């Protein structure tokens, strides 16, 4: 009886250790860094913006800094905000008034790809590649 109990506990321990080491390897993935838009989906139409960004280096770029600063550069027009990540959402705030400016839902995130959908917008989804 003790042998069966020991084997049961041993197997249970091994399974829990195996599962915890596989636990979401996305924990180390971060939005921190510079991203440029390469694809836009709006009203069911897809626009590949990579060609535009190759021609115009300041097309649409986002930069998330580790101190909570967010910089958006669209064709040389630069806006700076603060940001907070809450679950699957990125919330952007005016750095002076701390008023919520907009919210985006993270629909995909890997080390090199970021998909964002603006909440309350027109259903536009932008995909970004990491610089």
- Asked if residue 4 is part of any domain, the answer here is no
- Asked if residue 20 is part of any domain, the answer here is no
Residue pLDDT, tens place only, 53-103: 666 666 778 999 999 999 998 888 999 999 999 999 999 999 999 999 999
Domain of 68, in residue numbers: 31-130
CA–CA gap between residue 107 and residue 25 (Å, rounded): 17
- Asked if residue 41 is part of any domain, the answer here is yes
- Asked if residue 85 is part of any domain, the answer here is yes
- Asked if residue 46 is part of any domain, the answer here is yes
Residue pLDDT, tens place only, 92-131: 999 999 999 999 999 999 988 998 998 887 777 888 888 7
- Do the beta carbons of residue 106 and residue 88 sit within 8 Å? yes
CATH number, domain containing residue 108: 2.40.128.280
- Asked if residue 110 is part of any domain, the answer here is yes
CB atoms within 10 A of CB 34: 15
- Asked if residue 59 is part of any domain, the answer here is yes
CA–CA gap between residue 70 and residue 102 (Å, rounded): 12
Structure tokens at 6: 């020991």
Number of domains, the chain? 1
Output the DSSP codes for 42-89: ETTEEEE-HHHHHHSTTSEEEEE-TTSEEEEEETTEEEEEEEEEETTE
CA–CA gap between residue 18 and residue 69 (Å, rounded): 37
* Whole-structure pTM value: 0.70
CA–CA gap between residue 88 and residue 29 (Å, rounded): 13
């Amino acid at each position: 009886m003790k042998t069966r109990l020991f084997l049961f506990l041993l197997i249970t321990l091994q399974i829990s250790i195996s599962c915890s080491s596989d636990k979401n390897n996305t924990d180390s993935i971060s939005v921190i860094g510079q991203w440029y838009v390469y694809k836009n989906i709006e009203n069911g139409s897809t626009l590949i913006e990579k060609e535009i960004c190759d021609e115009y280096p300041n097309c649409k770029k986002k930069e998330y800094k580790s101190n909570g600063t967010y910089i958006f550069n669209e064709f040389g027009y630069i806006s700076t905000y603060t940001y907070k990540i809450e679950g699957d959402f990125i919330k952007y705030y005016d750095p002076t008034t701390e008023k919520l400016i907009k919210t985006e839902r993270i629909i995909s995130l890997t080390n090199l790809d970021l998909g964002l959908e603006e909440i309350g917008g027109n259903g536009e989804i932008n995909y970004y590649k990491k610089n």
